[in-house]
Structure 1
C-alpha cells in the first residue's frame, strides 16, 4: 500500500516538474532591451573616421560619475543612457589618464514600451541633441541619427 502512495507522489512530482518547464522568459536577449547610444570618432581637421588609441568613458546617471571603462584602439563605443525620467545624460571623455575631461550633454525625449516579464519596459530615445559643455580633448560634436531604436546606427560623432 505504501509503495502505491510513493509511486503516486513520484508521478505527481514528475508531472509538476514537466509543467513548470517553459520558455526562458526571464532572459532578455535578441535586442529586446533598452538600446544604447553608439558614438564614433572623427579627426577634427579632415572630418574622416578614426580610431582612438586610448579612451576613458564616464557617465552621470543621476548619482555622480560612473566609470564605464578604458577602451583601447576603438573606432566606436556604445554607451547606455539614463532610463529614469531625466531628459538628458551627461557623458565624459578623456584620452589620457591624467588628461582633460570633455563633458557632453545628450538631450532627448523618451517613450516606454512593455516588452515581456523578463525584459520589463524598453525605453526608446527620440530627438537626440548633444551639446559640448567642456571641450578638450573633444573639439566638436557632429550629430548622427537622432533617435535610438537599436545599436546599429551611429548617433553621435566626437571630433578629436
Structure 2
C-alpha cells in the first residue's frame, strides 16, 4: 500500500508539470504587428531623435496613454484590432504641452496563425491625416502596409 501511494503521487506530479508546454502564446513574433513611426526634422527632412515623446491612442473607448519615452528615434504603436477603419493617435513633446492628433486609415486582413496565438491582423492601404497640427507639422506615409515591425510606416515632421 505504501508503494501504491508513492506511485500515485509520482503520477500526479508528472501530470501537473507536463501541462501547457506547447501552447505558448505568440512566442515567435507571429502576433498582430505594430505600426512603426519615425521622426524627421521639418527644416532638413532628415530623420532625427526626439528628447521626449508622449503617445496616447484611442482604441474606441477613450484615449489610452502609452507613456513617455526619452531619446527616441522611432516608436512602435499598436493599432485597433476591431473592425474600425481608422485609429486616432496623439503625440506631444511635453506632459503639459500641445497635442497633435493623427488619424491612421487602413483596411485589415485576418489570418489564422495557431491555437495559442489565434488570429493575426495585417494592415493594408495605410493613409494618414494630420487633424491637429501642433507640435507635429507634417505627416508622410512610409510603407503603406504593416506585415511586420521592420519597416517604417509613418514619418512625423516636427
Give the gaps of 5 or more residues in structure 1. Answer: none
Aligned counterparts of 2:20 and 2:66: Cα–Cα separation in 1: 35
Structure 1 contact 26–117 (Cα < 8 Å) conserved: no
Q: TM-score, normalised by structure 2?
A: 0.91
> Equivalent residue of 1:121, what SS?
strand
Aligned counterparts of 2:43 and 2:71: Cα–Cα separation in 1: 20
Q: Determine the structure 2 residue equivalent to 1:133.
A: 131
Structure 1 contact 141–156 (Cα < 8 Å) conserved: yes
Q: Determine the structure 2 residue equivalent to 1:9.
A: 8
1:142-157 paired onto structure 2 within 5 Å:
142-157=140-155
Q: Determine the structure 2 residue equivalent to 1:100.
A: 98
Residue 113 (structure 1) shift: 1.1
Structure with the greater alpha carbon radius of gyration: 1
Whether 1:116 and 2:117 are equivalent positions in the alignment is: no
Cα 1:53–1:12 shift into 2, 3 Å: closer
- Please, what is the CA RMSD of the aligned residues? 1.7
Give the gaps of 5 or more residues in structure 2. Answer: none
Aligned counterparts of 1:50 and 1:14: Cα–Cα separation in 2: 56
Larger displacement relative to structure 2 (3-12 or 23-32):
3-12
Residue 47 (structure 1) shift: 0.4
Aligned counterparts of 2:124 and 2:12: Cα–Cα separation in 1: 50
* Count of aligned pairs: 158
Residue 119 (structure 1) shift: 1.2
1:86-97 paired onto structure 2 within 5 Å:
86-97=84-95
> Equivalent residue of 1:6, what SS?
helix
Q: Determine the structure 2 residue equivalent to 1:81.
A: 79
